[in-house]
Amino acid sequence: MFSKIFSRGLSTMSKLDRSLLKVTKTAAPKAKLPNSELVFGQSFTDHMLAIEWDASKGWSAPEIKPYGPLTLDPSSCVFHYAFELFEGLKAYRDDQNRVRMFRPDLNMKRMNKSAERICLPTFDSEELIGLIGDLVKLDQDFIPVGKGYSLYIRPTLIGTTAGLGVGIPDKALLFVICSPVGPYYKTGFKAVRLEATDYATRAWPGGVGDKKLGANYAPCIRPQLDAASRGYQQNLWLFGPEGNVTEVGTMNFFVVFKNADGTKELVTAPLDGTILEGVTRDSVLALAREKLNPAEWTISERYCTIKEIADRSDIGELVEAFGSGTAAVVSPIKEIGWNGKQIQVPLLPNEQFGELTKNVNDWIADYQYGRIESDWSRIVN
């Protein structure tokens, strides 16, 4: 009896299958906004991708349809118990007008890890990359042209099981929406001020801070508003009695120190489960290891305390700091408030960035816009 149910379950469970895609085009195409009016995540393309999942049937046929509202039962588990996860990646137009997605395989891997953690269904990464490519290709006229312009892609997975019992979802919806975006800082870089935060904790060992779950973000807004009331744009999240620096709001954190012998060290927190495994973080580390002279540089994934940053600032060994993430790519940091003290982070004279911050930005852009051909960049059209 059991084996019969079991085998039936296996044989009828459909995998995510791009070849089953159904496309319904919009009858009311939207006007495309001029570059100057693009605001991050405020306008969307004509279409969305939607794929339903059911525990007894598996993944249904993927659908690309006009962008529009969802209809869900108010008792759906996403609304009550936060069965929600998301991803963020970008597609870029290169010099030959081809469209390229930047390292989507890493986003899919991370999305599957997030799904696994909250009992939502996993899927074949390559099938979803292909489907996202189909959506991006259909809406490619929305991708703005120009330095710093791109299409932000937001894959999302929610549990849709109706009913108030807390349990494993037997229904889910995966959808993907796209927003045309401009450079994060309209007039070049703008260095930010961070407030080192230890009275609230973003993530902890054994927690889910390394997964892109919606549940990780809502609790961080109150501390961010508190920091904003004191003139800081973001929190620099500390962890533990030593005050280890973990990351910034939605960015990973990098700091550069100078040693007494003149060598430099690029430091970022290790992947110990308390920081998000940023695709940009991984790209920064890979490019730094490739491009920086090992006789002059050490690249470390290690714990660094806020006290080390403050102490080394006092003796002139703090060189620069930046955040990394898909939205801004790199974001220079000019000041860190901690314990009533302002740690000044150096910038280049008359600039809003440090030397490595600028270089890292340029190195990554060469891959994003396909000026350097590599498997980091996937041509869509």
Ligand X SMILES: *Cc1c(COP(=O)(O)O)cnc(C)c1O
What minimum distance in Å lies between the beta carbon of 108 and ligand X?
Answer: 12
Segment interacting with ligand X (CB under 6 A) among 119-127, 309-317, 321-329, 357-365: 321-329
Measured from the CB atom, the residue of 153 and 336 that comes closer to ligand X is 153
Measured from the CB atom, the residue of 212 and 312 that comes closer to ligand X is 212
What minimum distance in Å lies between the beta carbon of 9 and ligand X?
Answer: 34
Determine, following the binding rule CB under 6 A, whether residue 114 of this chain makes contact with ligand X.
no
Q: Which of residues 328-367 bind ligand X (CB under 6 A)?
A: none
Distance CA 59, CA 108 (A): 16
Q: Distances in Å between the alpha carbon of 88 and those of 103, 217, 371, 376? A: 11, 14, 22, 16
Determine, following the binding rule CB under 6 A, whether residue 127 of this chain makes contact with ligand X.
no
- Of the residues 78, 91, 120, 251, which one makes contact with ligand X according to CB under 6 A: 251
Q: Which residues on adjacent β-strands are paired with residue 158?
A: 84, 173
Distance CA 326, CA 91 (A): 11
Collapsing DSSP states into helix, strand and coil, what is residue 177? strand
| Token digits of residue 258 | 């100078």
Determine, following the binding rule CB under 6 A, whether residue 252 of this chain makes contact with ligand X.
yes
Q: Are strands 84-86 and 58-59 parallel, antiparallel or unpaired?
A: unpaired
Distance CA 119, CA 316 (A): 49
What minimum distance in Å lies between the beta carbon of 57 and ligand X?
Answer: 32
What minimum distance in Å lies between the beta carbon of 103 and ligand X?
Answer: 9
- Of the residues 46, 247, 308, 320, which one makes contact with ligand X according to CB under 6 A: 247
Measured from the CB atom, the residue of 140 and 280 that comes closer to ligand X is 280
Determine, following the binding rule CB under 6 A, whether residue 279 of this chain makes contact with ligand X.
yes
CB 150 within 8 A of CB 35: no
Distance CA 211, CA 102 (A): 20
Determine, following the binding rule CB under 6 A, whether residue 103 of this chain makes contact with ligand X.
no
Determine, following the binding rule CB under 6 A, whether residue 326 of this chain makes contact with ligand X.
yes
- Judging by beta carbons within 10 Å of its beta carbon (0-12, 13-18, 19+), is residue 252 exposed, middle or buried? buried
What minimum distance in Å lies between the beta carbon of 171 and ligand X?
Answer: 26
What minimum distance in Å lies between the beta carbon of 25 and ligand X?
Answer: 30
* Phi and psi torsions of 287, nearest 5°: -70, -35
Distance CA 372, CA 120 (A): 37
- Report which of 273, 232, 278 is spatially closest to residue 252, judged by C-alpha positions: 278
Count residues near ligand X (CB under 6 A).
14
Spell out, one character per residue from 294 to 313, where the chain touches ligand X: x when CB under 6 A holds, - when not.
Answer: --------------------
Q: Given the rule CB under 6 A, which residues bind ligand X?
A: 88, 212, 247, 250-252, 276, 278-281, 324-326
